[in-house]
Amino acid sequence: MLDDIERILVTREQIARRVAELGQQISRDLNRLRDEDEFVMIPVLTGSIIFVADLMRQIPKKVRISVVTVSSYPGPATSSKGVEIIGGLPDDLADRYILIVDDILDSGSTIQILRKALLDRGARSVRVCVLLRKDIPEAKEVKCEYVGFDIPNEFVVGYGLDYDHYYRNLPDVAVLKKDVMR
């Protein structure tokens, strides 16, 4: 697996520092909620598993976790083939304060579709936190309250992000060698 890496773009140390900062920022913003307000983190599977595991432990607040599954890259594809919410949204979203957590903002379709679907279900507030955002106009135009890192427009893997279902377990965010990607 390590032989397939061309270069590391964001190291595990940089990620850890930034995740702690994001956690502090989100926690501060949550201070405006009242005790009876319900806060729900909605991680987008599968790419956000590692990020959300780290991020939620930096947010010392009462929170529920409800996952959603979104598919946009079937198989060995490196550009979005259209977004689909699989298995529906969690129940009980009315009046909730929601934080969508995703690995990366690319075309922005995932975030836009999810934010709208959650607001349509009656969520009181929907905010978005992504670890990475690609430096492309489409991504920058999408509303996103919390961004970990802006990165060049390259296909990346690691820290939850996959290529053809592999490499999620790399601790750093990396670019693969050209000959590895079909």
Please identify every residue annotated as catalytic.
106
- Under the binding rule (CB under 5 A), the answer on residue 43 touching Mg ion is no
Q: Which residues bind ligand IMP (CB under 6 A)?
A: 44, 47, 72-73, 80, 83, 102-110, 155-157, 161
Cβ neighbours for 145, distance < 8 A, ≥ 6 positions apart: 127, 128, 129
State in angstroms the smallest separation of the CB of 105 from ligand IMP: 5
| Residue among 20, 28, 94, 17 nearest 61 (CA) | 28
Q: Considering CB distances under 5 to 8 angstroms, the limit depending on partner class, which of Mg ion, ligand IMP, none binds residue 107? A: ligand IMP
State in angstroms the smallest separation of the CB of 154 from ligand IMP: 7
Q: Considering CB distances under 5 to 8 angstroms, the limit depending on partner class, which of Mg ion, ligand IMP, none binds residue 66? A: none
Closer residue to ligand IMP, CB minimum distance, 124 or 171: 171
Closer residue to ligand IMP, CB minimum distance, 96 or 115: 115
Using CB under 5 A, which residues numbered 80 to 139 contact Mg ion?
none
| Cis ω before 110 (30° cut-off from 0) | no
Q: Cβ distance 92 to 124 under 8 Å?
A: no
Provide the β-strand partners of residue 69: 45, 86
Please classify residue 182 by burial: count the beta carbons closer than 10 Å to its beta carbon, then call 0-12 exposed, 13-18 middle and 19+ buried: exposed
Q: How many Å apart are CA 45 and CA 170, to the nearest integer?
A: 17
Residue nearest to Mg ion (CB): 47
Query: Among 41-49, 89-97, 131-139, 169-177, which window interacts with Mg ion (CB under 5 A)?
Result: 41-49
State in angstroms the smallest separation of the CB of 151 from ligand IMP: 8
Residue nearest to ligand IMP (CB): 107
CB atoms within 10 A of CB 32: 8
Cβ neighbours for 45, distance < 8 A, ≥ 6 positions apart: 67, 68, 69, 70
Q: Which of 23, 43, 47, 158 binds Mg ion (CB under 5 A)?
A: 47
Closer residue to Mg ion, CB minimum distance, 30 or 100: 100
Residues that bind Mg ion (CB under 5 A): 47
